[in-house]
């Protein structure tokens, strides 16, 4: 299971401030906020898979193992040479992610794939932004709508993954999804 948080941060010049206020309306973190975020968040990295120690343990009285992976797409926008540019990250939110089973490698693999899917969609957002930049699009609202559209696709895709893999219980479906996501990551990495 995955819960998604979408955060568009602003770090815009005064010129763009009024134009983009609605599009990027979340507070900017200062240095102290960034250090707190670093302690509670893990940025997606191919070389740093999730571990059960990244999760909070919760005792659940229901039958079976359960876990929740909370991810956040952090999108910070700014202007460069009159065009909007973005820094996009996928962050695992430690305080909000939990498991009832710290021994199941199958469950951990399922949760890791949720994190990987979030990265896949980060790359898709980046791809759409590049297309708009090549068209010399200057309106922040156009970028915002495109980002929202891709994130809506991400939510549908994540729910489908849980449904079709039966939350990771179907090993053949889990393997099929893993292969599909890995192929998508490789395809978008080369672009």
pLDDT at residue 1, rounded to an integer: 55
Q: How far apart are CA 141 and CA 191, in angstroms?
A: 25
Residues 6+ apart with CB under 8 A from 86: 75, 76, 77, 78, 126, 129, 143
CB of 95 within 8 A of CB of 72?
A: no
Q: How far apart are CA 41 and CA 27, in angstroms?
A: 17
Cα atoms found within 13 Å of the Cα of residue 88, Cβ hemisphere only: 23
CB of 59 within 8 A of CB of 66?
A: no
pLDDT at residue 62, rounded to an integer: 74
83: containing domain: 2-189
pLDDT at residue 79, rounded to an integer: 85
Q: How many domains does the chain have?
A: 1
Nearest to 84 by CA among 149, 24, 33: 24
pLDDT at residue 141, rounded to an integer: 92
Residues 6+ apart with CB under 8 A from 36: none
Q: 3-state class of 45 per DSSP? A: coil
pLDDT at residue 190, rounded to an integer: 62
CB of 8 within 8 A of CB of 77?
A: yes
pLDDT at residue 39, rounded to an integer: 74
pLDDT at residue 37, rounded to an integer: 58
**Burial letters 124-156, b for 16+ CB under 10 A, else e:** bbeeebeebbeeebeebeebbebbeebbeebee
Question: The whole model's pTM is what?
Answer: 0.80
pLDDT at residue 36, rounded to an integer: 52
- Tell me whether strands 98-99 and 56-57 are parallel, antiparallel or unpaired: parallel
* Token pair recorded at residue 32: 């102290």
* Tens digit of each residue's pLDDT, the chain (191 residues): 544 444 443 332 222 222 222 222 232 333 334 555 557 999 999 999 999 999 999 988 777 789 999 999 999 998 888 888 899 999 999 999 999 999 999 999 999 999 999 999 999 999 999 999 999 999 989 999 999 999 999 999 999 999 999 999 999 999 999 999 999 999 998 65
């Amino acid at each position: 299971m995955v819960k998604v948080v979408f955060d568009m941060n602003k770090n815009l010049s005064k010129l763009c401030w009024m134009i983009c206020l609605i599009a990027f309306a979340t507070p900017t973190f200062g240095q102290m906020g960034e250090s707190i975020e670093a302690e509670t968040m893990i940025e997606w990295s191919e070389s740093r898979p999730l571990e059960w120690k990244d999760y909070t343990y919760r005792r659940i009285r229901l039958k079976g193992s359960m876990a929740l992976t909370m991810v956040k797409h952090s999108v910070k926008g700014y202007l460069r040479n009159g065009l909007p540019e973005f820094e996009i990250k996928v962050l695992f939110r430690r305080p909000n992610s939990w498991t009832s089973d710290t021994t199941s490698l199958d469950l951990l693999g399922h949760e890791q794939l949720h994190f990987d899917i979030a990265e896949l969609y980060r790359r898709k957002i980046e791809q759409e932004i590049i297309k708009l930049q090549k068209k010399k699009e200057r309106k922040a609202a156009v970028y915002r709508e495109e980002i929202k559209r891709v994130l809506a696709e991400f939510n549908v895709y994540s729910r489908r993954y849980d449904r079709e893999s039966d939350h990771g219980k179907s090993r053949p479906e889990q393997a099929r999804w893993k292969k599909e996501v890995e192929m998508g990551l490789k395809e978008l990495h080369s672009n």
